[in-house]
Chains A and B, each alone.
Chain A
């Protein structure tokens, strides 16, 4: 790793002031499980590392018109939190599937968003759950819908002077069910070959709401609007779910690697979207 200066501000104001001072020479570090691997490979070489662990106000989960996840809440805390299991069980299930428990005790939800890794698990889950990301800088605060958050390969709308402080998961629609499936042909702690998050709501026997998202299927986490369009307003027959899943082939843009060829991953995206839709509908029916 390169040489850097590590600083540890005491509150959000000190962090945003440090970001304003150091500009693009600085990187924020929360759990560090993503960033330190990039630094070890010298893909990122910050002159300053701004440690966030003293910002205790950004740790924890509260329910206030939806779930507020403080940016420094670890994935392990999220997967084990009764509030999350009650209000957004999909998120607890997804966090449990991230890497290993050692990573989950360190990695934070804010870091997982900031890292903007297109193959990570929590971004598609957050897209399916219609989450919003709060960003703060010295000039104020803004909230960004998750659909607009990821802009490129390991890139998001987060400006160099901004800090993620909160990820908000709104109340889920009545009669909705959700599923997260991660295709892991090699090892249980691997990146997905393809990952799918789906949320469907039923009203009067028809699909009244659909949010479908994929990980490891392109240069960013992807929302599959083409799949949603086939589903909306229709009765959830097995044929409909199959037809809707087929539409994901035109959405994904996977790259060939040791987890499979691009063609194979595209085929598996269709299979896993169909399975996720079936599971989400089964859960929606139960509600």
Chain B
């Protein structure tokens, strides 16, 4: 067992965890933050994307013990009270999701992109988001949603 302290969505969380605990399981089972989804479990699909010290990572390929002392942001950390994050609102306004299983990962990946590159070109969005798979939308609406969020064209 390992004692770890991780700042999750701005709140310091201290837990004892098994050494082989994955970050996705730490978030879902130890902290009850089930917004983060696990799908492929091999780092390919992007469903489990969270931000680790601001960088997008696959939480299924990250040991929780290796996040001790770090800051993790999940989909639950984006809205401020009842006010959705512009990316969340954009995905609603522009039809960026259908079944929704990939959406938390899509939005976290998009947040990392806009944090580093606030006004990406369409090609830069496609290049960055290439690793977040969606079986419903055909991707056009996801890209449109991210462009709209970057351009401030969302209901607020």
User: In angstroms, how far is the closest chain B Cβ from the Cβ of A62?
Assistant: 22
Q: Is the CB of A99 within 8 A of B131?
A: yes
Chain A residues, Cβ within 8 Å of B128: 101
Query: B-side binding surface: helix, strand, loop or mixed?
Result: mixed
With the chains together, A2 CA to B18 CA distance in Å? 11
CB-based contact B66/A32 at 8 Å: yes
Given A32-B63, A100-B130, A101-B131, check contact A6 B57 (CB 8 Å). no
- Within B56-77, the residues touching A (CB, 8 Å) are 56-58, 61-63, 65-66
Q: Does B109 contact A (CB under 8 A)?
A: yes
> Does residue B39 face the partner (Cβ distance < 8 Å to A)?
no
Residues of A within 8 A of B109 (CB): 101-102
A51 interfacial contact with B, CB 8 Å: yes
Q: Cβ of B46 and Cβ of A106 under 8 Å apart?
A: no
- A138 close to B (CB within 8 Å): no
Which residues in B have their C-beta under 8 angstroms from that of A100?
A: 44, 46, 130-131
In the bound assembly, the distance between CA atoms of A210 and B94 in angstroms comes to: 52
- Does A36 lie within 8 Å of B55, measured CB to CB? no
**Interface members, chain A 1-25 (any B CB < 8 Å):** 1-6, 8
Of A2, A3, A49, A102, the contact of B43 (CB 8 Å cutoff): A102
What's the nearest-Cβ distance from chain B to residue A6, in Å? 4
* B contact residues, range: 20 to 34
Asked if A55 CB lies within 8 Å of chain B CBs, one says: no
Query: How long is the Cα–Cα vector from A123 to B85 in the complex, in angstroms?
Result: 41
* Other-chain contact of B130, A32, A40, A106, A189 (Cβ < 8 Å): A189
Please, how many angstroms separate the alpha-carbon atoms of A40 and B43 in the complex? 12
B137 on the A face (CB < 8 A): no
CB distance A3 to B57 under 8 Å? no
Bound-state CA distance A49–B20 (Å) is 10
User: B19 contacts the other chain (Cβ, under 8 Å)?
Assistant: yes
User: Are B58 and A102 within 8 A (Cβ)?
Assistant: yes
> Is B131 touching A102 in the complex (CB atoms < 8 A)?
yes
| A29 vs B57: C-alpha distance when bound (angstroms) | 16
Chain A: minimal CB distance from B109 (Å): 7
- Which residues of the partner chain A approach B130 to less than 8 Å between Cβ atoms? 100, 188-189
Contacts of B61 in A (CB 8 A): 32-33, 36-37, 103, 106
CB of A208 within 8 Å of the partner chain:
no
- B15-40 contacts to A, CB under 8 A, are 18-20, 22
Are B55 and A37 touching (Cβ within 8 A)?
no
* Alpha-carbon distance A32/B49, docked complex (angstroms): 15
In the bound assembly, the distance between CA atoms of A8 and B46 in angstroms comes to 28
Kindly state whether residue A76 has any CB partner on chain B within 8 Å. Answer: yes
**Complex partner residue of B58 from A5, A6, A33, A49, CB under 8 angstroms:** A33
Residues of B within 8 A of A156 (CB): none
Contacting residues, chain B, for A76 (C-beta < 8 A)? 55
B55 and A53 contact, CB distance less than 8 A: no
Within 8 A of B (CB), among A114-162: none
Select one of B22, B43, B112 contacting A33, CB under 8 A.
B43
- The reply to whether B131 and A37 contact each other, CB–CB distance below 8 Å, is no
B116 nearest in chain A by CB position:
A80
Tell me which of B2, B55, B62, B131 contacts A32 (CB under 8 A): B62
- The answer to whether A255 has its CB under 8 Å from any CB of chain B is no
B42 at the interface (CB under 8 A from A): yes
Interface status of A105 (Cβ within 8 A of chain B): yes
- B62 engages A5 (CB within 8 Å): no
Give the docked Cα–Cα distance between A157 and B131 (Å): 33
- In the complex, the answer to whether B19 meets A103 with C-beta atoms within 8 Å is no
Q: Can you name 11 A-B residue pairings with CB atoms under 8 Å?
A: A3-B20, A6-B63, A6-B66, A32-B61, A36-B63, A37-B43, A37-B61, A51-B65, A53-B66, A101-B56, A106-B57
Instruction: Other than A49-B19, A105-B55, give 9 A-B pairs with Cβ distance below 8 A.
Output: A6-B19, A6-B63, A37-B43, A51-B63, A100-B46, A102-B56, A102-B58, A106-B57, A106-B61
- In the complex, the 9 A-B pairs of residues with the closest C-beta atoms, listed nearest first: A100-B131, A105-B55, A6-B19, A6-B65, A1-B20, A102-B56, A102-B58, A36-B61, A188-B130
